């Protein structure tokens, strides 16, 4: 069930059954010549919705802009500073905690978010620890699950794309977006078919080293059919992880 399609009374009733919620988080950034700018947010959102249905969980609105400063050399990319994203996550969690939510399952679609989201969790826990009295009551718990790190996702990406999966603008994530939005499928010439790999620093360095936006990948292999296979394989694993997280003491 999507939080933004609920009434307050429906949310109040659900809190009687479960104190958990899924929060999809992604990014709005370039994904090469044929990848959608919203790829990371789209992937997080569609996986979160499917996991919510499979696990009978409430799903919060997607945090669609993440920490992506290194993509600003490409038109349309957006970013939040790490400090801003930490504040956004903290305020969202604390807002939901006021109503009784205690388990926050962040479902992530962007590798650049990981360090900042983890830091946000530390800030949230520090705030609780610094409260006077330290009452011996159950506290909130946050966890981060990257959909692309699920065992089924890694296995299928190896099977379908091998070394051409790469690390950015990957055929697996592009396939998921093609499955979610078949009307938005893009075609482009990829030269070379497999992009170079390497490291980078800021946005200018990224654009200089990877002029078409890809890193080590061949998203020309992407297809809507592959996206469906990936989702069908990964959603049960993520749903199981969510149920275990909510049930843990």
Task: Give per-residue pLDDT as tens, 154-204.
Answer: 999 999 999 999 999 999 999 999 999 999 999 999 999 999 999 999 999
Closest CA to 27 of 114, 99, 101, 92: 114
pLDDT at 138 over 90: no
- List, in sequence order, every residue forming a beta bridge with 141; answer none if it has no partner: 103
Distance CA 178, CA 26 (A): 17
**In this predicted structure, what is the pLDDT of residue 139?**
80
CB atoms near residue 153 (< 10 Å): 22
Residue 175: partners with Cβ closer than 8 Å, 6 or more residues away:
222, 223, 224, 225, 226, 227, 230
Residue 34 contacts residue 188 (beta carbons within 8 Å)? yes
CB contact at 8 A, 35 and 174: yes
Per-residue pLDDT, 134: 63
pTM listed for this prediction: 0.96
**Token pair of 226, please?**
């592959």
Domain spans in the chain, listed from the N-terminal domain onward? 3-247
The CATH number of domain 3-247, selected from 3.40.50.300, 3.10.20.30, 3.40.30.10, 3.40.50.10310: 3.40.50.10310
Q: Computed over its alpha carbons, how large is the radius of gyration of the chain?
A: 19
């Amino acid at each position: 069930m999507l939080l933004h399609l609920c009434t307050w009374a429906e949310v109040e009733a659900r809190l009687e059954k479960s104190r958990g919620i899924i929060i999809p988080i992604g990014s709005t950034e370039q994904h090469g010549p044929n990848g959608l700018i919203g790829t990371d947010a789209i992937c997080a959102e569609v996986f979160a919705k499917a996991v919510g249905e499979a696990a009978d969980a409430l799903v919060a609105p997607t945090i669609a802009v993440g920490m992506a400063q290194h993509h600003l050399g490409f038109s349309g990319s957006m970013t939040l500073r790490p400090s801003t994203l930490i504040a956004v996550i903290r305020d969202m969690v604390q807002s939901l905690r006021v109503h009784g939510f205690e388990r926050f399952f962040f479902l992530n679609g962007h590798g650049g978010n990981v360090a900042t989201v983890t830091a946000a969790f530390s800030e949230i826990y520090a705030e609780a620890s610094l409260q006077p009295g330290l009452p011996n009551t159950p506290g909130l718990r946050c966890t981060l699950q990257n959909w692309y790190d699920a065992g089924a996702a890694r296995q299928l990406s190896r099977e379908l794309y091998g070394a051409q999966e790469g690390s950015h603008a990957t055929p697996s994530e592009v396939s998921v977006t093609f499955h979610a939005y078949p009307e938005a499928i893009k075609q482009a010439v990829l030269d070379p078919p497999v992009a170079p790999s390497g490291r980078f620093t800021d946005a200018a360095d990224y654009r200089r080293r990877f002029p078409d936006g890809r890193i080590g990948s061949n998203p020309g292999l992407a297809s809507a059919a592959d996206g469906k296979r990936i989702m069908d394989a990964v959603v049960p694993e993520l749903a199981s992880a969510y149920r275990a997280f909510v049930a843990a003491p």
